[in-house]
Amino acid sequence: MLKETKTRNIKIFIYGISIILMIIFIFSIFQKEKGRVYTTRFINLVKEEKVFKLEKNDLKSFKEQILIEKGNSKKAKNTKLSNYSLGVIEYLNENYEKSIEFLKISEGYSLESDKELEFDILVKLAMNYTYIGDLRESNKYIKKAEELGRSNGLGNEVSDAYYELVSKRIDLDYNVKDCIELLENSLNLIQDHKRVMKSYLLLATLNRLRGDYNQALVYDQRAIGISIDSKDDEYLGKCLISLSENYYTKRQYRKAINLLQTIIDGDMVKDSEDKLKLYGYLIDCNLKTGNLEKGEEYKEKFLETVNDLNPNARVREVMWLHVLYSDSNLLVGNFEVSDNHLKMAKKLYTKNKNRVHINTKLLLDKIEIKRQYTKDKDYKKAIKKYENIIEEIKNKESGLNLYYDLVWEISTLSYLNKDNEYLYKYSKEIYEIYNEVNITVDTDSVIADLNTYVEKREAYIDKYKIYGLIILLILAIALVFTIYNINVKISKSNKKLERDNITDGLTGAYNKRYLNQILEKNIGKNLVFVMLDIDFFKSYNDNYGHMQGDEALITVSNLLRDVFKDDLVFRYGGEEFSIISERNFDFVIRDLEIFKKRLHDKNIVHEFSSISDRITLSMGISKGCITSFEDGENLIKESDKKLYESKSTGRNKISF
């Protein structure tokens, strides 16, 4: 009995000692964690990518507590983690040189157990050096990050780092060609198809900035192929937005609207930043084509969506909206409203130069030049300043979309001020832009190829993907035939019949029946109407024969539709054509001059004309707000009256 009691007491003693030791161990662990609780919490936020949502006061609070924890512990690991956290905080506060100091201290301590943190230190150093303009050091650290990533299976993380670095360098107006090379070199590291598509789409944007549309469309095509093969509807929507940017950059606003509206109707975009791109382009395209009501509708959606972004991104998008509205109000003569938007945009730009869209400063300069011209009417001074911006764009090899806008501004000013030297020089550039003389692949052909691809693979696509592909099929048809809301079940023969019903069988231009329909649809809008008549066409037919006469009509029609891509061209009857446009009156007149020059260069010989050795046209132009169908008829009568004026005063001229 005594022996059993002794044995039991020994067991109780051993259990007691074990419990005490366990309590001591747990307490020591607790004390250890307590020593860097804020540091640990902040690093977890970084890893979960929630740190970008922290407000300034949150960052300040974390910084104060982490500095205390840093002072209370001299252990190497704690020193590394504290300095890393402080480096990230200063990076978020845009104190880049201070961030570099903390991160370099952190880099000096090795942490074998967390290669991702080591990798992020190197990436953050590369980003900091980019912000302060030291690309040599930035390139050194991104290469070190790449080496560390390659040796530790972090290929996707390396590609993300290059993507982030390139995106920021573009925003900071660094050389686009260098950025393209940097991003292309990272493609072989990517193992995830979403990252591949993401990089392809950024490469498409960068090549558009350089004016290399062939290469941009190559990357668009690659991204589209991957999105279809992987059945990724999210990225298919992103790809179509990228395609719409091709139209937008080339000022083909109606085609851009068709494509963007199809993306929205198909509910193909969920991401807030993608929605802002959609709404932003739709605002600008509708404003530039005179549809102010639609522009305001998408402005409301834009402002609703912008609240979903983090504060820095929100500032960038709101600034862009002010720039856009300053430009559009200036175009229609609302100078006070334009000045207010410009003032807000410049104020935001001054405070947020590192958080703007590329070429924002050049766009602000363009608006200020245009505004100054409205005050002093010194067009040569304005053109000189525009040319300075063009030179800057060419030097840094980016901003081709702004370049095209500047060419239009100069050509318009030279036309209005009857400066033939500038008009000839920049009309030639407009001709090259419209006809894509240096382009071997265009966006229409990419979408047509996509449509063919869809048809071939339709039988192998599951039922969830079919809906997205039907939308793409409708899109391709809409872009090729410019017909809205076509029912996907209509057979090919019915589609051809519908096309034939609204077009002239010989010339391919729209017919007079469709002209009446268009007038009815555009009640409430400001329209420009042009009537054109081929001079002495009866004598041409009588002497050269009707077959050659038909060829002449086809040539004139094709040329008209080529110059007036964003407008509607009709064969009014016989040798008469007409044009309906919602654009600015002066722009239409300028394009008629361009058409005259190109027709003259075609040199369609007409030996039996009394005014020229080649075919010419007389033209009459009128404008007005259509409040009823009768107003439309009156607009036609007014244009016809101006045409008669042209014919009776010598022909081969424009009367307005």
* CA-based end-to-end distance of the chain: 126
Domain ranges of the chain: 2-34, 207-308+442-502, 503-655
The pLDDT assigned to 2 comes to 44
pLDDT tens track for 140-184: 999 999 899 888 888 888 888 998 999 888 878 788 888 888 888
Per-position b or e across 464-474, b if 16+ CB within 10 A of its CB: ebeebbebbbb
The pLDDT assigned to 137 comes to 94
The pLDDT assigned to 398 comes to 66
**CA-based nearest residue to 332, from 369, 290, 280:** 290
Quick one: three-class SS letters along 383-423? Answer: HHHHHHHHHHHHHHCCCHHHHHHHHHHHHHHHHHCCCHHHH
Least confident of 338-347, 351-360, 570-579: 351-360
Cβ atoms of 330 and 293 closer than 8 Å: no
pLDDT tens track for 238-269: 888 888 888 887 778 888 888 888 888 878 88
Cβ atoms of 38 and 62 closer than 8 Å: yes
* Spatial distance between the Cα atoms of 487 and 495, rounded to a whole number of angstroms: 10
Where residue 313 falls (left for φ over 0; alpha for ψ -120 to 50; beta otherwise) is alpha
DSSP 149-193: HHHTT-HHHHHHHHHHHHHHHHHTT--HHHHHHHHHHTGGG---H
* Spatial distance between the Cα atoms of 363 and 379, rounded to a whole number of angstroms: 18
The CA angle 76-81-86, to the nearest 5 degrees, is 125
| CATH superfamily of domain region 503-655 | Reverse transcriptase/Diguanylate cyclase domain (3.30.70.270)
Cβ atoms of 94 and 132 closer than 8 Å: no
Count of residues for the chain? 656
Amino acid symbol at 197? M
Cβ atoms of 602 and 555 closer than 8 Å: yes
**CA-based nearest residue to 531, from 520, 518, 515, 513:** 515
CB neighbours of residue 388 within 10 Å:
13
pLDDT tens track for 355-368: 777 778 888 898 89
Q: Residue 544 half-sphere exposure, CB side, CA atoms within 13 Å? A: 21
591 by DSSP, 3-state: which?
A: helix
Cβ atoms of 59 and 89 closer than 8 Å: yes
Match 């809205």 to its residue by tokens: 484
pLDDT tens track for 297-321: 988 898 888 888 877 778 888 888 8
